[in-house]
Chains A and B, each alone.
Chain A
Amino acid sequence: MRLEPYVQFASKAFQREATYRVEVVSEIGSLVLRVYLIRALWTSLYAHNAAPPNLPLHKIITYSTVALLLSLILEVDGTRQLREKIRLGTIATDLLKPISLPAFLFSDGLGMTLLHAMNVIPSLLMALLLVHVDRPPTLQAGLAFVAAFALGYGVNFLLNFSMNCVAFWTLETFALQLVVRWLSDLLSGAIIPLAFFPGALQTLLLHLPFAAIYSTPLLIYLGLIHGPQIPQALLEQTAWLAVFVGIGALVWSRGQLRIVVQGG
């Protein structure tokens, strides 16, 4: 597979996204509000209650703020156009082109993501006016965080991709996708750390694939997963990534067989 066309797709997607300047402002504006909310909520909770072990106020504020910044990138769904392509039947012509459609969606999504990743910097600067954000404890932790985030990005992409492939079977999938997105936000630790869930539920959630998206990178960032636990956590994420590659490949190959039935 030649890589060059896909680099071009990513660059086109980047330029396309860059034209929506108003969205950029809204994104940063709503982020500032949420950072304010994080500060107000946790400051109040820590003022009236005993702090949980390992998680002092500055760590929970760092956790929530970094989770919010990551969501700027992870909420971008490059595979959403797949649903429209299936609905309208234009997927037929896309399949005739000498490119891999999943790889196109990935590179297109990556291009969109890179633009939104640029928003992280002004957003972080705005957030720093309201809260203090800790740095990762060591350089190794910082590098491991980047690796864990990349793996989480892959799991998130394949989850979105598989959900959009459901459109091969039922044409209206938007509500279903939102259900999965909402649940995954809660179960991945994007809203609150998974450590806040009670006993067995917590153990379960820490080992579900959702945790690979937000929880694992964030716990590495905070230094709560450290030393020899880091390779183990990265390995678990890699295993989930492999499982989702399998699921994605399966629904994609099965789904394509359905197009003939719909007739385009």
Chain B
Amino acid sequence: MGSARSWLGVIAQTWRIRLLTMLEYKANFFMWFAFTIAYHGVAIGALGATLYNFPSLAGWNFPEIAFLYALWMLGHSTHNLFFFSVGDVPTYVQEGTFDRFLVRPRDVLFQIVSVPNQQWPDELALALVWFVFATWYAHVRVDWIFLAAIPLVVIGGVLIDLAISLAIATISFWFVRVDTLRWVVMSLEQEFTRYPVSIYTRGVRILMAYVLPYAFMNYFPAVYFLHKNGDQLAIVPWLGLLAPLVGAVWFAGAYAFWRVGLNHYQSTGS
């Protein structure tokens, strides 16, 4: 399977190609960066205008909602930076271009994540700026626990995001058209995570907490850092600190499912 050095070589090459692509299409890069700003700006602007009229959303004020958004944005943009191509697997399967990954002498998932694409740390940089602002704005206490826990929460968020997109990718081995499922899950991730999970009915709360555990990307950690209480889903106040554990367990499950799916895909051989 090659030495560690050759694996790192592949990663270095991927990033070199990404850099060269960006330098070649500079105007394009700036336009997509403008889109990133517009996307998050519109989401935050709508939240701001809403909370300007309704100061309390289930006990959360706008600075706290801004912090909730920032936590999600950090995890999600880090996931996009490293693992964006996992979401392309259903397209590869549909178009029949997936087979090329199976005949090369590298782990299939490793090949997928090292497909050169146009992801740059611009969204992550924006997320960091917004996170620092929101932390100050929401008066979050910055102590050693905060500084140690945030990177772990972000890693947990990345793993949760990755686990779910990997699971959907795997489902596409059986059902080629997974567009509906992708839409539903994307909507749950991008729109339902903007608000405190406590506003939803019981079934959706359980779904967000323990089935597609997006609540561990931002809601439960925010409950801990903002000292929120009164949610029966959070069994203990520090539940949010378990994000990396939840991420690891869900990723392990998704990866096992992926291996099963790969074997199935090989056996049909289309």
Contact = CB atoms under 8 A, between A and B. Distances in A.
Interface string A169-197: 01010011011001101100001100011
Contacts of B183: 26, 29-30
A192 B180 contact: no
A159 B191 CA distance: 26
A45 B188 CA distance: 20
Contacts of A22: 177, 179-180
Contacts of B35: 175-176, 178-179, 182
A58 to B, nearest CB: 16
Contacts of B103: none
Contacts of A25: 180
Contacts of A44: 57-58, 195, 199
Interface string B48-71: 011011111111000000000000
A172 B39 CA distance: 18
A263 interface: no
A37 interface: yes
A179 B35 CA distance: 5
A52 B39 CA distance: 28
A145 to B, nearest CB: 24
Interface in B178-195: 179-180, 183-184, 187-188, 191-192, 195
Contacts, number: 92
A172 B49 CA distance: 32
Nearest to A27: B183
A40 B200 contact: yes
Interface string A11-54: 00000000000110110011001101100110111101100100
B32 interface: yes
A29 B192 contact: no
Contacts of B28: 172, 175
A98 interface: no
Contacts of A52: 53
A228 interface: no
Interface centre among A52, A175, A183 (most CB of B within 10 A): A175
Interface residues of B, number: 36
B147 interface: no
A23 B52 CA distance: 36
Contact of A49 (B46, B56, B187): B56
Given A22-B177, A44-B58, A197 B49 contact: yes
Contact of B184 (A30, A41, A45, A49): A30
A41 B199 contact: yes
B80 to A, nearest CB: 15
B32 to A, nearest CB: 5
B49 A183 contact: no
A29 B192 CA distance: 15
A193 to B, nearest CB: 9
B34 A191 contact: no
Contact of B54 (A49, A172, A183): A49
Contact of A175 (B32, B55, B204): B32
A46 B199 CA distance: 12
Contacts of B184: 29-30, 33
B45 interface: yes
Nearest to A25: B180
B142 interface: no
A43 B200 CA distance: 10
Contacts of A172: 25, 27-28, 31
B268 interface: no
Interface string A79-91: 0000000000000
A48 B56 contact: yes
Interface of B: 25, 27-28, 31-32, 34-35, 38-39, 42, 45-46, 49-50, 52-59, 177, 179-180, 183-184, 187-188, 191-192, 195, 199-201, 204
Interface of A: 22-23, 25-26, 29-30, 33-34, 36-37, 40-41, 43-46, 48-49, 52, 170, 172, 175-176, 178-179, 182-183, 185-186, 191-192, 196-198
17 contacts: A26-B180, A26-B183, A30-B183, A34-B187, A41-B57, A44-B195, A45-B57, A49-B53, A49-B56, A175-B28, A175-B35, A178-B35, A179-B34, A179-B38, A183-B42, A192-B50, A196-B50
Given A29-B184, A48-B57, A49-B54, 18 more contacts: A22-B179, A25-B180, A29-B180, A33-B188, A37-B191, A44-B57, A44-B199, A45-B54, A48-B56, A48-B59, A52-B53, A172-B25, A178-B39, A179-B35, A185-B42, A192-B46, A192-B49, A198-B52
